[in-house]
Amino acid sequence: MNLDIAILLIEDGLASGAIYVLMALGFVLVFNVTRVIFVPFGDLVSYAALTLASFQLQRTPGTIWLLVTLAALAILLEVLRLYRIGQFARLPRALVVWGVLPLLPVACTLLLDGFALPSYVAIPLTFALILPIGPLLYRIVFQPIANAPVLVLLMVSVALHFAVSGLALMYFGPEGMRTTPLVQGAFDLFGIAISASLLLIVGVAAALSIALLLFFRLTLTGKALLATASNREGARLVGIRTATTSAAAFLVAGIIATVAGVLISPMTTIYYDTGLIVGLKGFVGSVAGGFVSYPLAALGGVIIGQVESFSSFYASAFKEAIVFAAVIPVILARWLWASNAHIEEHDEE
Amino acid sequence: MSAFLDVADVSVSYGKLNAVRDISFSLDQAQIVTIIGPNGAGKTTLLKALVGGLPSTGKVAFEGHDISRLEPEERAECGIFLVPETRALFADMSVYDNLILGGYIRWRDRAGIAHDLDQVFGLFPRLAERRTQQAATLSGGERQMLALGRALMGRPKLLMLDEPSLGLAPIVVREIFKIIAGLRSHGVTILLIEQNARAALETADVGYVLETGEIVHRGEAKALLRDPRVLETYLGGSSQS
Amino acid sequence: MSAAAIRSLALAVICLAMLVAPAVLGDFSVTLLNYVAIYTLVALGLVLLTGCGGLTSFGQAAFVGIGAYATAYLSTTLGLSPWLGLVAALVLTSVTALIIGVITLHLGGHYLPLSTIAWGMAIYLLFGNFDFLGRYGGISNIPPVSLFGYRLEHMTQVYYLVWIAVGAALLVASNLLRSRQGRAIRALRGGEVLAECLGINPFKIRLFVFVLAAALAGLAGWLYAHMQKFVSPAPFDLRAGIEYLLMAVLGGSGYVAGAVIGAAAVALSKNWLQDLLPYVTANSGNLEIVVFGALFILLLQHSRGGIVPLVLRYLPQAARAPAVPHAPSADRLPVRTMPTAGQQLLVLKGVSRSFGGLIAVNDVSFSVNAGELLALIGPNGAGKSTTFNLITGVIPPTSGTISYGGRDLTGASPRVALAAGIARTFQHVKLRPAMSVLENVMLGAYSRSSSGFLAGALRLDRAEEAIVRAAALRQIARVGLAEQASTAAGNLALGQQRLVEIARALVADPSMLMLDEPAAGLRSREKAALAELLKAVRDAGTAILLVEHDMDFVMRVANRIVVLDFGKKLAEGAPEAIRKNPAVQEAYLGGVA
């Protein structure tokens, strides 16, 4: 290997690493607030990329049918819940939150159906279509079992991934799609060529990470999310609606997934199941942070990007296997560290 | 009948075990009511059920409204706050953030929150000194102050305290009970669980004795303090000898 | 007809039905049943691993793959007998599981299941990338299994092979679960501390179950390869892994029968969906997985226990809980020689323990003599439970020394403490709620018995089991729960559960019994009975260290009292002296003013 190739590999690793950083942060966020290891997170990346690609191909993205189905289920559950606690006065609000809001972008999509949409319309519309999915999934799938053990939530999460990715296959078909690049060209930095798209990816990932940090530090909603993560019982006792903060965590995860989807879709062809692999690698990064630490999760994401990039050079057939095998030592190190800090004592019933 | 808080036939069961059986009582505004009883009698379970943290049967009415079906956060919005035995602080957040989040239900009232923050810091100067410190680094007494302060930030109408003296030095216990008595004079109604039965009964207006999930004695706190049966079991009657 | 007879009859009917099934059913149904059998083997491994042992694995499909590929490679490329393939499949899966297990089974919480996703993915990806395994094309032309020169070519012939394997596996698994080591497996879910305090080595047990589950998956892989005559990576991916887990959970992951029922339910409903969905949509293949995911979610949301417990609920009591056999008690377990009364037994010297900045136990010294009942009292948070945990080795002290019978126990594990003669109960009762009172108490004799896994699986342990059962029944009768011996422990009142813990501790034949709030939750008559029991135990030579809040109770039974306050020893002495001690009155008995 010479220096040029090494630089190329590093740049490649940085680009994918930036995506994994975002995914890792999302996993940590959702897990901290809700204790859910959000396996379908990666599927949202696929949905975002394929939705944008559909717009560019002037097709109707299948995402709208997902939204319609989920909104209908969520409203059904809300009606049942309000009936049970005898609070029908709250029905209009529930209808707006779980019905009108998610269906608004669906209506827009149907209205614009068949038009060639410029990026500045297609991308925001993609965001509007993907964002409601996270909170809807939470409302339908996780909220009814919010107090279940982490393991049950994990199993549900894995099952949900199969349902969501199966639907993606139905909506988008087995063939891959690729979007047109958002930026083109390259820069020269100290004699090293850096493509504009690399700069965009790393820049957006950094900006989003910092925005997340500020959100937690400066806003009451952000603090309420941290509080829910820190002590769920305490949060409820001061009147923080944990169902709302949990849904908010899924919403933020949706933003992250959409950003990731929009950023990677010009880089590589996206299939309905590409997201899972992207997500799992981000997830490996978050494991490095023990699902608790944001900076360590981000570091993990960067490292995974490099490991992947270099192993694709040395043993390209085994690059995925290497990345996943790398999880085990990371988990071990993480666990040793955690168990030194305190004695674990968990009863699982 | 419309008492401030009306508890009717509340039962809680874990699986097939009845932790709390058909508890009924009511309390008036600006009263301190204490529930005493041995470990395992179901005191903590009862409080958790009253804030909606545990599924229970029976009826709980607050200020005339049925709140039996409300979630804990909705009960907090009604003005019902619990300081649990575990304190349930946001351990990795600062003292300041913990207190600010205590005022979460009235987040629009910025001026009010700032005012109450000053009040809490006035009440517990130690918290003011440690406002940027992580809650996890506080001592037991400071944690209890923070938990109490956080609950006060929500301007509770009904404040439930689970073992506020737990693990505290006698001098701190005295301080805490002084504050509890002071809250009553500000119109706050207090439901207090204590294993330090004497201190609790001396501060309270009304007392209940809970045993294996049932109320076995009830009466004015001062009377219970002299009741030989209560003395024998819960006050270590021998301390009189 | 007795419950046992009904059971035997039902079993006979089922076996007969299985025997004639291929003659009655069409080829298609037989094929389906063969798949059910193969799934059952994998699901059975998960029942043992997840349902009983509390270890969730998403990666079992990878072990099936290892088994299938091992025999496929051996019987095609190397041209060896499929029976050698079986050996290779079992050895390779077991060794792989052993290696993975040694590395990952120390992991706690959700780290372990996460690691199963990781190695499950990695192994699956390897199948598709090795040239000698045919990459994603797989290996074809795998020969069928031959038995005495008779080739099991057709599905009806394979049928008997796979179902005999299933029958044997089910028998072994249910034997195992009823044995000494099986109880240990089921105790794992109660947490590390419980297992250690019962003298169980949790890591060893976990490793065994993990390897066993992998070997069952390997066996399934072997059968699969020779039935299909073709292997490719696809059936061994994460999706298959979760499907196996679904089978175990759906059937009822705590029950051996749950494996068969879950496997059958999944295979049949899959088949049913394949028939039905084409009428609904053109993309039926894709919808199948969606419906599956949705069903699994609904199952976990509404009935986490699975099908078996749902069915059991409607069966008569007798069928659920078999009567306790009254075993002969001629033989006895080895008995400990009790130390002579008055001899210093447990000695704590300057023991401290801090958590972070908080000092829970601060420079505490006291001793317990053989044949006495020492009570440890103090307000909540005074450090009593921490002291208990220090003595039993659940946590090591920060400083100071603990010795027992002249032997240094400082920093020793709970297993060492138990071996030295210390048995304990827990403030928060640690029983296995689904196991009967008898089984829970039998767990206490783990350290006094010796049957291994193999003896349990083959029921070579009957003699020892009878002795253990008799010993357990004696202690159950002693604490007054003889009537409830076959009741599930979780159905008892809290006070009675504490008594079960005492019986469990007594079965270990301790020279010192440590009781953490045994009287909490008892009514006054039960308290009096407990007091009598404790006196009797003490008079029989077992020292007792007692933590208790009920002062009356303490005063009635204690020979000596040690008072803790804020982690420090406040006073020590006879009950009367403690009662009159003003410092104790101030700290413990209340009085703020």
Q: How far B21 CA sits from the closest chain C CA (Å)?
A: 13
Size of interface B-C (CB pairs under 8 A): 79
Which residues of chain A make contact with C203, given a CB cutoff of 8 A?
A: none
Tokens for A345? 């004592």
pLDDT tens figures, C157-193? 899 999 999 999 999 999 999 999 999 999 998 888 8
- Does residue B18 contact residue B211 with C-beta atoms inside 8 Å? no
**pTM (two decimals):** 0.83
Question: Does A331 sit within 8 Å of C118, measured CB to CB?
Answer: yes
Q: How many domains does chain B have?
A: 2
Are both B143 and B30 inside the same structural domain?
Answer: no
- DSSP letter assigned to residue A99: I
| Contact by Cβ (8 Å): A281, A15 | no
Taking the mean position of all CA atoms in its chain, how far away is CA C108? 15
pLDDT in tens, C541-566: 899 999 987 777 888 899 999 998 88
Residue A349 near chain B (CB below 8 Å):
no
Closest by Cβ to C125, choosing from A320, A335, A347: A320
pLDDT tens, C215-233?
999 999 999 999 999 999 9
Residue B84 lies in a domain: no
Q: What pLDDT does C236 receive? A: 94
CA of residue A5 relative to chain centroid, distance: 31
Beta strands in chain A (DSSP E): 186-189, 192-195
- Looking at per-residue confidence, does B109 or B137 come out higher? B109
Which whole number is the average pLDDT over C38-60?
92
Q: Do B90 and A241 count as a contact with CB atoms less than 8 A apart?
A: no
Measure the CA–CA gap between C265 and C304, rounded to whole angstroms. Answer: 16
User: Does C566 or A264 have the greater pLDDT score?
Assistant: A264
Enumerate residues 6+ apart whose C-beta is below 8 A from B126.
B142, B145
The top-scoring range by mean pLDDT among A152-156, C123-127, C380-384 is: C123-127
Rounded to the nearest angstrom, the minimum Cα separation between A180 and chain B is 44
A141 in contact with C, Cβ within 8 Å: yes
Q: Closest-CA residue in chain C for A336?
A: C107
Contact between C542 and C513 (Cβ < 8 Å): yes
Domain range for residue B240?
1-79+156-241
Residues of C in contact with B142 (CB under 8 A): none
Contact A233 B53 (CB under 8 A): yes
CA C259 to chain centre: 17
Q: Is C340 on the interface with A (CB under 8 A)?
A: no
C-beta atoms of A331 and C115 within 8 A: yes
Cβ of C280 under 8 Å from any chain A Cβ?
no
Choice among A1-10, C225-234, C319-328 with the minimum mean pLDDT: C319-328
CA distance C445 to C327: 16
User: Inter-chain contact A239–B92, Cβ cutoff 8 Å?
Assistant: no
Interface of B with C in 62-121 (CB under 8 A): none
Q: What percent of chain A has pLDDT over 90?
A: 47
Give residues 86 to 105 of C whose Cβ lies within 8 Å of A.
103-104
Residues with Cβ < 8 Å from C194, sequence gap 6 or more?
C187, C426, C430
Is pLDDT above 60 for A340? no
Cβ contact, residue pair C56, A154, below 8 Å: yes
Which residues does C3 contact at the CB level (< 8 Å), separation at least 6? C316, C318, C319, C322, C323
Mean pLDDT of C124-140: 88
Over its C-alpha atoms, chain C yields an Rg (Å, rounded) of 28
Separation CA C263–CA C285 (nearest Å)? 20
When mean pLDDT is compared across A142-146, B154-158, C354-358, C497-501, the lowest value belongs to C354-358
Query: What does the pLDDT read at residue B32?
Result: 93
All residues of chain B having their beta carbon less than 8 Å from the beta carbon of residue A224 are 101, 104
pLDDT at C257 over 50: yes
C523 contacts chain B (CB < 8 A): yes
pLDDT at C324 over 60: no
Please indicate whether, in this complex, the C-beta atoms of C239 and A162 are within 8 angstroms of each other: yes
Locate CATH 3.40.50.300 in chain C. 343-421+514-523+548-593
pLDDT at residue C581 above 50? Answer: yes
User: Contact, C186 vs C177, CB < 8 A?
Assistant: yes
Of C115, C121, C191, the CB nearest to A345: C191
Per CATH, the homologous superfamily of domain C343-421+514-523+548-593 is: P-loop containing nucleotide triphosphate hydrolases (3.40.50.300)
Cα–Cα distance for residue pair B128/A127, rounded to 1 Å: 44
pLDDT class of C270 with cuts at 50, 70, 90: confident
pLDDT of C406 reads 87
Among C514, C576, C501, C519, CA closest to C374: C514
Band the pLDDT of A349: cuts 50, 70, 90: very low
Mapped onto helix, strand or coil, the DSSP state of residue A6 is helix
The domain boundary, picked from B153, B180, B208, lies at B153
- Contact flag C245-A166 (C-beta cutoff 8 Å): no
Instruction: Give the per-residue pLDDT at B156.
Output: 93
The answer to whether residue C248 neighbours chain B at the CB level (below 8 Å) is: no
CB contact under 8 A, B39 and C520: yes
The strand pairing partners of B59, in sequence order, are B8
B176 and B57 assigned to the same domain: yes
Residues B93 and B65 in one domain: no
How many other β-carbons are positioned within 10 Å of the β-carbon of residue C466?
16
- % of chain C at pLDDT higher than 70: 93
Number of Cβ pairs closer than 8 Å across A and C?
Answer: 141
More confident residue, C110 or C40: C40
Instruction: Please give the pLDDT value at position A338.
Output: 64
pLDDT 10s digits, B182-234: 888 888 999 999 877 888 888 899 999 988 888 988 999 888 888 877 766 66
**Distances from the Cα of A98 to the Cαs of A77, A104, A139, A241, C103, in angstroms?**
10, 11, 9, 16, 46
Q: Tell me, yes or no, whether B178 lies in a domain.
A: yes
One-letter amino acid at A26 equals G
Whether the pLDDT of residue C326 is over 70: the answer is no
Is the CB of C286 less than 8 angstroms away from the CB of A154?
A: no
Domain end residue (candidates: B116, B136, B153): B153
Region(s) of chain C under CATH 1.10.3470: 3-312
- Alpha-carbon Rg for chain B, nearest whole angstrom, is 18
Same domain, B67 and B179: yes
Q: Across the interface, do B104 and A240 touch by the CB < 8 Å criterion?
A: yes
The residue type found at C61 is A
Chain B positions touching A234 (Cβ under 8 A) are 87-90
Alpha helices (runs of H) in chain B, residue ranges in sequence order: 43-50, 72-78, 95-102, 110-123, 125-129, 140-153, 170-185, 197-203, 221-226, 228-234
End of a domain among B153, B173, B189?
A: B153
Give the per-residue pLDDT at C291. 85
Instruction: Name the 3-class secondary structure at B225.
Output: helix
Considering chain B, what is the average pLDDT of its residues? 86
Enumerate the residues of chain C whose CB falls inside 8 A of the CB of residue B170. Answer: 586-587, 592
What confidence score (pLDDT) does residue A348 get? 33
How big is chain A by its Cα radius of gyration, in Å? Answer: 21
One domain, residues B39 and B127: no
User: At residue C590, does pLDDT exceed 60?
Assistant: no
What band does B89 get if pLDDT is binned at 50, 70 and 90?
very high
**Cα distance from C516 to chain A (closest Cα, Å)?**
18
Spatial strand order of the sheet with C568-573 comes to C422-424, C512-516, C543-547, C373-377, C560-565, C568-573
Q: What is the DSSP string of B136-156?
A: GGS-HHHHHHHHHHHHHHT--
Q: Does B88 touch chain A (CB under 8 A)?
A: yes
Q: How much is the mean pLDDT over chain C?
A: 87
Structural contact between residues B192 and B211, judged by C-beta atoms closer than 8 angstroms: no
Among B13, B14, B17, the strongest candidate for a mutation testing the C interface, having the largest count of C CBs within 10 A, is: B17
* pLDDT at C591 exceeding the cut of 50: no
Instruction: Output the pLDDT for position B167.
Output: 64
- Chain A within 8 Å of C454 (Cβ-Cβ)? no
Report the interhelical angle of A220-230 vs B95-102 (nearest 10°).
100
Question: What are the distances in angstroms from CA C32 to CA A3, A74, C25, C39?
Answer: 58, 37, 11, 11
Predicted confidence band of residue B153 (pLDDT cuts 50, 70, 90): very high
Please tell me the distance from the alpha carbon of residue C259 to that of residue C146, in angstroms, as a whole number.
28
Nearest to B93 among A85, A226, A236 (CB): A226
Q: Report the mean per-residue pLDDT for chain A.
A: 87
Same domain, B60 and B168: yes
Of C125, C193, C300, the CB nearest to A324: C125
Q: Which pLDDT tens digit goes with each residue over A306-319? A: 988 888 888 777 88
Which pair of structure tokens corresponds to residue C76? 């095609």
| pLDDT of the residue at C282 | 63
pLDDT above 90: percentage of residues in chain B: 41
Contacts of C591 in chain B (CB under 8 A): 198-199, 239
B85 contact A CB<8A: no
| Most A CBs within 10 Å, among C114, C243, C304, C385, to test the A interface | C114
User: Which pLDDT tens digit goes with each residue over C469-486?
Assistant: 999 999 999 998 998 898
A236 touches chain B (CB under 8 A): yes
Residues B195 and B233 in one domain: yes
CB contact under 8 A, C301 and A349: no
Q: For C425-431, what is the mean pLDDT? A: 88
Give residue C272's pLDDT.
Answer: 84
Q: Is C151 helix (H, G, I), strand (E, B) or coil?
A: strand
Q: Closest chain B residue to A240 measured between Cα atoms? A: B73
Q: Beta strand pairing status for C399-404 and C344-355?
A: antiparallel
Q: Which residue of B has its CA nearest to C520?
A: B40
pLDDT score, position C330: 57
Residues in B closer than 8 angstroms to C381, CB to CB, are 140, 166-167
pLDDT band for A79, please (50, 70, 90 cuts): very high
Determine the average pLDDT of the residues in C388-393.
Answer: 92
pLDDT tops 90 at residue C364: yes
* CATH-assigned architecture of domain C3-312: Orthogonal Bundle (1.10)
Kindly report the CATH number assigned to the domain that includes residue B67: 3.40.50.300
Chain B residues in contact with A220 by the CB 8 A cut-off are 100-101, 104, 107
* Distance (Å, whole) CA A55 – CA B131: 52
> Which domains does chain A carry?
3-178+188-348 (1.10.3470)
* Number of Cβ within a 10 Å radius of residue C62: 32
C56 touches chain A (CB under 8 A): yes
Q: In this complex, is the C-beta atom of B16 within 8 Å of any C-beta atom belonging to chain C? A: yes
